[in-house]
């Protein structure tokens, strides 16, 4: 289980993370909804070990991650941009984490992952030859192939068009269930949060609010779920009243 307690981070005088506390059991996806600049990226990067918190603790299965460098945390950060290694082929990008760990059967594992991602015919292509959605799929495959402890997803589908985004969300759900992925999934899209999350949280001005249930998340007016539902209801009403 990932346990974060009273995580605090400031830049100059601006507080970016304010006593953030959460618990994330194995195989669960916590969807964190929040607007731009609310501290979501800082939270994920701090958990990944890429930023140092001013105070608070991050524990995995009871063990402190404080002294662990990013490479030893097994917590992969995935940003909005796929950040593929441009000089490596799709195959080598996906194999990267396995090669780092000197794992056996790299060929077979990568081929299986390519099949899962429906990218078999693109294995030898360079990232520049792929579409945005394909690149994001490669990044996703590269992150989960060695089964990390936690996936830290920072609005991973935000730069994709609606159709590709929907197919990526389905792919994520399928693979998250298959591999029992534990993930912190940050998004500013209400629908995406509802679709992806097993648990829900809302972040504003560095403060994280965890909800006890999906209903509680939907009922809270600050999350904007009710506004979203009202909008779609009004559209539905308009359509049904058309002559």
Partner 1 sequence: MGRKILTAILATAILLPFLFFGMLSVGQAWFYPSVLPQRFTLANWQELLAGQSELQVSLLLSVILGLGVAILSTVAGFVISREIARAKYKNRWLLLAYWPFVLSPVVLAILVQRFFLLTGMSGEVIGVLLGQLILAFPFAVIFFQSFWSHEVLQLEQQSQTLGATAVYTLQKVLLPLARPLLLICFFQTFLISWFEYGLTQFIGVGKVKTLPILVFKYVNEANSSHAALASLLIMLPPALLLWTNKKFIFRGI
Residue that is written with structure tokens 């760990």 in the block: 101
Choose which of 1, 26, 55, 100 interacts with partner 1 (CB under 8 A): 100
Instruction: Please list the residues that pair with 124 across neighbouring strands.
Output: none
The stretch among 13-21, 81-89, 155-163, 215-223 that binds partner 1 (CB under 8 A) is 81-89
Number of CB atoms found within 10 A of residue 99's CB: 12
What is the rounded distance in angstroms from the CA atom of residue 59 to the CA atom of residue 207? 19
Nearer to partner 1, 26 or 100 (CB): 100
Subset of residues 9 to 68 that bind partner 1, contact rule: CB under 8 A: 48-50
Integer Cα distance of 90 and 110 in angstroms: 10
The alpha carbon torsion through 77, 116, 149, 89 (nearest 10 deg) reads -50
Judged by beta carbon, residue 33 or residue 181, the one nearer partner 1 is 181
> Residue 147 interacts with partner 1 (CB under 8 A)?
no
Query: Applying CB under 8 A, does 156 fall inside the site for partner 1?
Result: no
- Window 160 to 179, contacts with partner 1 (CB under 8 A): none
DSSP 29-54: EEEEEE-TTSSHHHHHHHHHTSS--S
Q: Which of 97, 127, 141, 156 binds partner 1 (CB under 8 A)?
A: 97
Nearest approach, Cβ of residue 220 and partner 1 (Å): 32
- Smallest distance from partner 1 to CB 47, Å: 10
DSSP β-ladder status, 29-34 and 183-187: parallel
Residue 119 in tokens = 């990218």
Which is nearer to partner 1, 72 or 129 (by Cβ)? 72
For residues 192 and 159, what is the distance between their CA atoms, to the nearest angstrom?
13
Q: How many Å from the N-terminal Cα to the C-terminal Cα in the chain?
A: 55
Binding segment toward partner 1, per CB under 8 A, in 23-31, 97-105, 113-121, 126-134: 97-105
| Site membership for partner 1, residue 71 (CB under 8 A) | yes
Task: With CA atoms as reference, report the closest residue to 144 among 179, 108, 192.
Answer: 179
**For partner 1, the closer CB: 70 or 214:** 70
Q: Which residues form the interface with partner 1 (CB under 8 A)? A: 48-50, 69-77, 79, 81, 83, 85-87, 96-97, 99-101, 142-143, 146
């Amino acid at each position: 289980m990932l346990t974060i307690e009273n995580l605090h981070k400031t830049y100059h005088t601006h507080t970016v993370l304010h006593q953030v506390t959460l618990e994330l059991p194995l195989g669960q996806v916590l969807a964190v909804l929040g607007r731009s600049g609310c501290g979501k990226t800082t939270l994920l990067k701090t958990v990944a070990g890429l930023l140092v918190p001013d105070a608070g603790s991050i524990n995995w299965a009871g063990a402190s991650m404080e002294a662990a460098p990013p490479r030893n945390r097994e917590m992969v950060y995935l940003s909005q941009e796929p950040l593929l290694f441009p000089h490596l082929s799709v195959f080598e990008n996906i194999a990267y984490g396995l090669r780092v760990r000197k794992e056996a059967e790299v060929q077979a594992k990568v081929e299986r992952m390519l099949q899962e991602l429906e990218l078999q015919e693109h294995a030898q292509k360079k990232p520049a030859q792929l579409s945005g959605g394909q690149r994001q799929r490669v990044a996703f495959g590269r992150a989960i192939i060695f089964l990390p402890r936690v996936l830290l997803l920072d609005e991973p589908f935000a730069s994709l068009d609606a159709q590709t985004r929907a197919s990526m969300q389905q792919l994520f759900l399928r693979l998250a269930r298959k591999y029992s992925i534990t993930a912190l999934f940050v998004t500013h899209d209400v629908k995406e949060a509802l679709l992806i999350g097993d648990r829900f949280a809302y972040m504003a001005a560095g403060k994280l609010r965890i909800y006890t249930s999906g209903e509680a998340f939907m009922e809270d007016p600050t999350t904007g779920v009710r506004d979203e539902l009202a909008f779609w209801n009004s559209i539905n009403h308009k359509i049904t009243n058309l002559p």
